Amino acid sequence: MSTDAQAIHHESFIVNLGPQHPATHGVLRIKLTMDGEYILDAEPIIGYGHRMHEKMGENRAYAKFLPNTGRMDYVAALFNGHGYVCAVERLAGLTVPERAEYIRVITCELNRVASHLLWLGAFLVDLGGFTPLLYCFDDREKILDLLESVTGARLTFCYFRFGGVCNDIDDTFVNGTRDFVKLLRSRMPLYHDFVSTNIIFRKRCEGIGLLSADTCRRYGATGPVLRGSGVAYDVRKQEPYSIYPKLDFKIPVYPECDCMARYRVRVDEIVESLRIIEQALDQLPAGPVMAPKVPKILKPAKGDCYFNVESARGSFGIRIVSDGSENAYRLKLRSPCFSNMSLFQEASRGMLLADALALLGSLDLVIPDMDR
Amino acid sequence: MYSLGDIVRLLLYLVGLIGFGAFNAAYLSLLERKQSAWMQLRRGPTEVGPWGLIQPVADGLKLLSKQILLPRDVNVPLFLLAPIMVVVPAIVSLVTIPFSETLVAHRYNLGLLMIFSFGAINIFALLIAGWASANKYASIGAVRVVAQNIAYEVPMLLVVIALVMVTSSFDLVEIVKQQGGGCWHWNLLKLGANPMMPASFLIFFICMLAETNRAPFDMVEAESELIAGAFTEYSGMGFGLFFIAEYVNILIGCSLATILFLGGWDCPFGLFPGPHWFLIKMYALCFTVVWVRWSFPRTQFYGLLNLSWKILIPLALVNLLLTAVMLKLVP
Amino acid sequence: MPDNDWKTRLVACAARDAAQQPLVTETPHATKGSVLEVTVPAADVVAAARILDNAVFLIEAVTGVDWLAEQQMELVYDFVQMQTGERVTLRARVPREKPELPTISAVYPGANWHERETHDFFGIVFSGHPNLTPLLLPEDARFHPLRKDFAP
């Protein structure tokens, strides 16, 4: 025991939340300086899952980096792949057949639904309610089955190729997806009854974890976090890519800035994604799924480009600098979780431990995506 | 003075009650697992015995065979004392619980008071456990348990005092006897004595959940915030005893609710009263406790205290006042 | 009030080439991903960031590129306007033997982590940074893996 009178007077203490802690969903460590249950300072210490994907991107051919993309944000792995292939296609000037674009959007939106469902379950576990997790997993499992039937993987997808996708979808997938859309739509009222109207859940979310739009902007937080702060910023609308301009969908925005707003944004996004999937399935054209004559070894011309996709967690960006060789000269991966997490230190100051963990859960972090 | 026969009878009852408590702790945990599985589209334990019925035995054996770890900085005597302190009062409290008019280990005219005083030891045990663990999570959990249990003991006792004013007895057997002869005689529906009786039952039930540290009030454990709260450093049977005590406390809480409000061993329609009715009512309440746990997220700590100090205590005070007024007005 | 005049201010802030023309290119979004690329002198990144901050830009990323052949390090800052989706890339170059430039974390607190990451990977020093310790690399890391002459 310390006899330092000064230390006793302050009565603040340091708690290491993590790297192994039930609320951090991975190897994230937060060094909390606490005064009782109030947080004086919360310093995230990240990098436990750092694998230097950017260096790997520099010392292998473009196509060989494709599997890596599925291992960053493994909960919504298709978006990383989508961003990467689109960036390389932009740099190499490849065009993608329309059917392939549709398939990309359908699978990506399925992945978004799966990711949001997982988040919903995990968030409720953070708040101490375990039951919804298993309902979410039950529905998510059906998505993973669908995606497995076409991509061959359940989690770390490597499905997109430069100039298309590697497998065509068949009627089984199309019909299965249609059935799933109907099923999940019929399940949404259940989630609503079970979660949104639950008095304890609302008490724990409403007015908790306020993040102003300006805070989000200065920290670069995007995705549902930013949209839960009342800013209608979505890459799919602001910088339309793929076939999104042809589809009719809304961007859910809630101005309350609290955990409840972020929850509502994500639940509404599930519904919007289902609409996107349905429209895309209706419009699905016939044709090839790979561009003809994509060179085996790509050597894009000198130059650089940036490409952003709207991942389930926010704006996922890739900057590729090419020197004309078969490897990228520089590959920058802009992960949404990294930016979303960086605001935690400021936002959690003065909060109670339990509320800070609600805020942490509402940011929807995937640690390997943050650490890359 | 007690005769030898009395003492032998008491000892036999004590052995029986320990067995009853242990059996219930084991099978309430199985009920919890099966029921939560059923609520969550799962199947729960199925491997050990038919429908997983031997699972609690396997759990117990596992806990018994595990090493009791003593982390470096713990205060060893207190660390080892806490699990014992939490389980002994829980078992002893069972002594005055009447399962029927005759099936009671020791009929005691201050039985109700005794259960509450033993129940209060629980707080100290958890506080000691948290403090002796020399772990920050455990300390936070221990501090929480004190604030929570004190906050909820007040409305619980206020409700019980109002009830005692109606029954004018602390003797549990006497309290049940007054409710005999069908559900319209139960304290729950004794609206003539106090129109707020159903509300006071609800207050009692909520406080019981909070006193036993069950979700949605499981602030002590709060696994997503404090890992395992006050129990973080415990392993093996040390943890097992906290576990048993939690279930025995639920058992006592549900028994008390049955005795005080639901007519104990009385049959709802006035026929064949007996211990079976007591058990049916008690297990129905236990079922509800588990049901509530798996339906709600955890409350915030200040939400928990607000509920007690701002809603339950004023309500309980109004209830108390109303009872007093009714007693004066309705002879 | 958001500053609508940010483009001219940014051009005024840009570095000049040999012919005293500002190093500003309007780039096609379809092939480059951003609409404006501005190269600023390393000392002026804070001023440029402040212009973008006043125009309600969101900070997207800060990163570096090691140009070994030219013995230079390039800093790349990506910003995006939240309402219009206009994407602006700021570039600044610093000499490779003394890669140092001021931090913009006072303007954009989100740059704090991005700059720490860039320091990890390239060894670029952001003067005035509040906490330039390794973020993703181990805390005792003394190497900068994305430098082109890095040998593990």
Tell if the CB–CB gap between C31 and A226 is shorter than 8 Å: no
Which of C29, C83, C110 faces A220 most closely, judged by CB atoms?
C110
Domains and CATH numbers, chain A: 50-341 (1.10.645.10)
* Residue A30 dihedral angles phi and psi, to the nearest 5°: -125, 120
Handedness of CA B305, B310, B311, B312 (dihedral sign): positive
- Does B136 sit within 8 Å of A354, measured CB to CB? no
Task: Using DSSP, state whether A196 is helix, strand or coil.
Answer: helix
Q: Which two tokens stand for residue A60?
A: 């292998």
CA distance to A103, A173, A183, A248, B16, per residue, from A279 (Å): 12, 15, 16, 8, 68
Question: In this model, does residue A8 exceed pLDDT 60?
Answer: no
Higher pLDDT, A345 or B194: A345
Chain A contact set for C135 (CB, 8 A) = 46-47
pLDDT at C144 > cutoff 50: yes
How many CA atoms lie less than 13 Å away from A282 in the CB half-sphere? 10
Q: Are strands C87-95 and C36-39 parallel, antiparallel or unpaired?
A: parallel
Do A and B touch, 3+ Cβ pairs within 8 Å? The answer is: yes
Q: How confident is the model at residue A115 (pLDDT cuts 50, 70, 90)?
A: very high
Phi, psi of C95 (to 5 degrees): -65, 145
Q: Please report residues of B whose CB lies closer than 8 A to that of A190.
A: none
Locus of tokens 């639920």? B250
Determine the 3-state secondary structure of A16 from DSSP. Answer: strand
* Pair B246, B234: CB distance under 8 Å: no
Which chain B residue has its CA at the smallest distance from A33's CA? B136
Q: C78 and A315 in contact by Cβ < 8 A? A: no
Q: Could you tell me the pLDDT band of residue C3, with boundaries at 50, 70 and 90? A: low
CB spacing of A305 vs C89 below 8 angstroms: no
- For residue A26 the two structure tokens come to 């991975």
Distance between CA atoms of residues A119 and B271, nearest Å: 53
Write out the two tokens for B84: 């014992």
**Average of pLDDT values for B135-148?**
85
Cβ C111 vs Cβ C103: under 8 Å: yes
Asked if A328 reaches chain B (Cβ–Cβ under 8 Å), the answer is: no
- Assess whether pLDDT exceeds 50 at residue A279: yes
Q: Are B137 and B65 in contact (CB under 8 A)?
A: no
> Measured between alpha carbons, how far is C67 from C75 in angstroms, rounded to an integer?
11
CA–CA distance, A62 with A56 (Å, rounded to integer):
10
What is the arithmetic mean of pLDDT over B237-259?
88
Touching A: which chains, 3+ CB pairs < 8 A?
Answer: B, C
Indicate the pLDDT class of residue A1, thresholds 50, 70 and 90: very low
Q: How confident is the model at residue A4 (pLDDT cuts 50, 70, 90)?
A: low
Contact residues on chain A for C32, CB-CB shorter than 8 A: 304-306
pLDDT of A113 reads 92
Region B267-278: what's the mean pLDDT? Answer: 78
Instruction: Indicate the pLDDT class of residue B1, thresholds 50, 70 and 90.
Output: low
Determine the Cα–Cα distance for residues A116 and A121; give it in Å rounded to an integer. 9
Instruction: Tell me if B71 sits within 8 A of B245, measured CB to CB.
Output: no
C-alpha radius of gyration, chain C, whole number? 15
Which residues are CB-neighbours of C50 under 8 A, at least 6 positions away? C107
Q: How high does pLDDT run on average in chain C?
A: 83
B163-189 per-position pLDDT tens digit: 888 888 888 888 888 887 777 777 777
Looking at every residue in chain A, the average pLDDT score rounds to 87
Lowest-pLDDT range, A153-167, A278-292, B99-113? B99-113
Q: What is the pTM of this model?
A: 0.87
CB contact under 8 A, B40 and A131: yes
Are A233 and C82 an interchain contact pair (Cβ–Cβ within 8 Å)?
A: yes
What is the pLDDT at residue A9? 54
Q: Which residues contact A73 (CB under 8 A, 6 or more apart)?
A: A79, A80, A311, A312, A313, A316, A335, A337, A366, A368, A369
To the nearest whole angstrom, how far is the Cα of B152 from the nearest Cα of chain A? 18
Nearest CA in chain C to A306: C33
Predicted pLDDT of residue B331: 64
Interface contact flag, C60 A317, Cβ < 8 Å? yes
pLDDT at A181: 92
Interface check for C57 against chain A (CB to CB < 8 A): the answer is: yes
- Chain A residues whose CB is inside 8 A of the C61 CB are 220, 317, 319, 332, 334, 339
Q: Does residue A19 have a cis peptide bond before it, meaning omega lies within 30 degrees of 0?
A: yes
Q: Where does residue C107 fall: left (phi above 0), alpha (psi -120 to 50 degrees), or beta otherwise?
A: alpha
Beta-strand relationship, A38-45 and A160-161: unpaired
Q: A25-66: per-residue pLDDT in tens?
A: 778 888 888 887 888 888 888 888 888 888 888 888 888 888
Separation of alpha carbons C3 and A78, rounded Å: 37
Is C115 in the A-facing interface, judged by CB distances under 8 Å? Answer: no
Site of tokens 């003593």: B70
Confidence grade of residue A94 (pLDDT, cut at 50, 70, 90) = confident
* Nearest-Cα residue of chain C relative to residue A49: C136
How distant is the Cα of A106 from the closest Cα of chain C, in angstroms? 23
A306 and C66 within 8 Å at the Cβ level: the answer is no
- DSSP readout, C19-64? TS-B-EEE--HHHHS-SEEEE--GGGHHHHHHHHHHTTEEEEEEEE
User: In this complex, which of A126, A134, A357 lies closest to B40 when CB atoms are compared?
Assistant: A134
Predicted local confidence at residue A34, as pLDDT: 86
Q: Which value does ipTM take for this structure? A: 0.85
Closest Cβ opposite residue C33 in set A220, A307, A372: A307
Task: Quote the mean pLDDT of chain B.
Answer: 84
CA distance C113 to chain A (A): 7
Closest residue in C to A329 (Cα–Cα)? C65
- The predicted pLDDT at position A116 comes to 92
Residue B305 reports pLDDT greater than 80: yes
**The predicted structure's pLDDT at residue A2:** 46
- The residue of chain A nearest to residue B218, with distances taken between CA atoms, is A128
Helix (H) or strand (E) holding B286: helix B275-293
Closest CA to A135 of B43, B292, B39: B39
Tell me which of A199, A200, A259, A352 to substitute to probe the interface with B (most B C-beta atoms closer than 10 Å).
Answer: A200
What does the pLDDT look like over B21-68, one tens digit per residue? 888 888 888 888 888 888 888 888 888 888 888 888 888 888 888 888
**Residue-level pLDDT at B186:** 79
Does residue C103 contact residue C128 with C-beta atoms inside 8 Å?
yes
Q: Based on the number of CB atoms within 10 Å of its own CB, is C107 exposed (0-12), middle (13-18) or buried (19 or more)?
A: buried
Whose tokens are 């989000």? That residue is A216
- CA C117/CA C132 separation, integer angstroms: 9
